[in-house]
Structure 1
């Protein structure tokens, strides 16, 4: 049921902001996946909490009858929940660090063919991966010689989480500061007037440019009208 709700939400979002007929099916699918898994996490977290609470209840009441710990309506086995979390996490991980950066560079590339765009996108991201790989290698060496290297998977997961938390803090910090500041400036009538006067100069230049274009167009139309025989 949760999966169906997430699918409906993603389809409604894409229907509002994306044209299905004019957009490539590959891009549409990648965008759908990009919306699906982050939204699905919001539905999966309560299930995880319910399953954990039920297991704690069973552990604390081992000698009692299971009727003391009723099974929730959205309960799923712990093994299945682990598999779902692995699919969600690692799909999001690969998409975030490999698929979407290449697609973004591909879309912004100035090349003319699909193959050259793909090569440019891979080359651009390879530079980032080499720098990030060098930093990770240094971290691995430090952890190895300090005997704290448990597993490469743990380090990769931790690095991704640290990067995500850093980006989240940066974006939230910018939004929490910039939005109230912009609203504060909107409430200042003097600054608002100065800003409108600044925009007015640009609009005046645009109007003059449009007037010149209209006069040139009318002049050409008159010339064409005179050159065309009336008969």
Structure 2
């Protein structure tokens, strides 16, 4: 089993690093790079954990270690999905000039989103309890099931989109004349957005003086 670990762990880690470096832009901050890399590693850790889990179950070995790694993988992915990654995404998208203000904007936007989702979820749980569909003791398990369902539905949606969009994009890009027209149209739109951004920046600088 140690041979499997010595092979699978470096391969998985190397695949994550190479993929992240390939898709990362030159100006991507390091904390974003490492966060994305750790997120991908937690997701791909199933390649290592599933065979290890089967091995320990088949030979009736101590499951303390594998249980710990399953819990680590699950809660790491959970926290990254619902807290860390949205916070970083909001921080990077914020247009404020200081780190503190950008962080406040990100926290505020995420709190609004989670309050709305939490209110809807709380209403649904109360409704199910009143209708005697679930018990109060099963609320945590129900919440975890909803979280897993959200992940599965999102993954299926993105996979379905990729299966149709990637071949479509390859088909369109094979025609160079059509590709040139599309890029020319995008350049014109980006030029307009760039001018608007410059104007907004000039107005913001003037208002700060």
Of the candidates 154, 169, 190, which is equivalent to residue 167 of structure 1?
Answer: 154
Residue 63 of structure 1: aligned partner: none
5+ unaligned residues in a row in structure 1: which ranges? 56-75, 207-231
> Which has the larger share of helix?
2
5+ unaligned residues in a row in structure 2: which ranges? 1-5, 189-209
**Structure 1 residue 184 displacement after superposition:** 5.3
**Structure 1 residue 13 displacement after superposition:** 3.5
Q: Say if 2:94 and 2:106, in contact at 8 Å, map to a contact too.
A: yes
- TM-score, normalised by the number of residues in structure 2: 0.71
- TM-score, normalised by the number of residues in structure 1: 0.65
Residue 65 of structure 2: aligned partner: 80
**Count of matched residue positions in the alignment of Structure 1 and Structure 2:** 179
**Structure 1 residue 91 displacement after superposition:** 0.9
CA RMSD of aligned residues (A): 3.1
**Structure exhibiting the larger radius of gyration computed from Cα positions:** 1
Residue 32 of structure 1: aligned partner: 37
Of the candidates 161, 172, 178, which is equivalent to residue 195 of structure 1?
Answer: 178
Residue 141 of structure 1: aligned partner: 126
Do residues 128 (structure 1) and 80 (structure 2) align? no
CA 138–17 in structure 1, closer or farther in 2 if over 3 Å, else same: same
Of the candidates 152, 163, 169, which is equivalent to residue 139 of structure 2?
Answer: 152
* C-alpha distance in structure 2 between counterparts of 1:46 and 1:171, whole Å: 26
The 5 A counterparts of 1:33-48 are 33-48=38-53
CA 35–178 in structure 1, closer or farther in 2 if over 3 Å, else same: closer
**Which aligned runs of 4 or more in structure 1 are off by greater than 6 angstroms?**
none
* C-alpha distance in structure 1 between counterparts of 2:149 and 2:55, whole Å: 27
* C-alpha distance in structure 1 between counterparts of 2:82 and 2:101, whole Å: 21
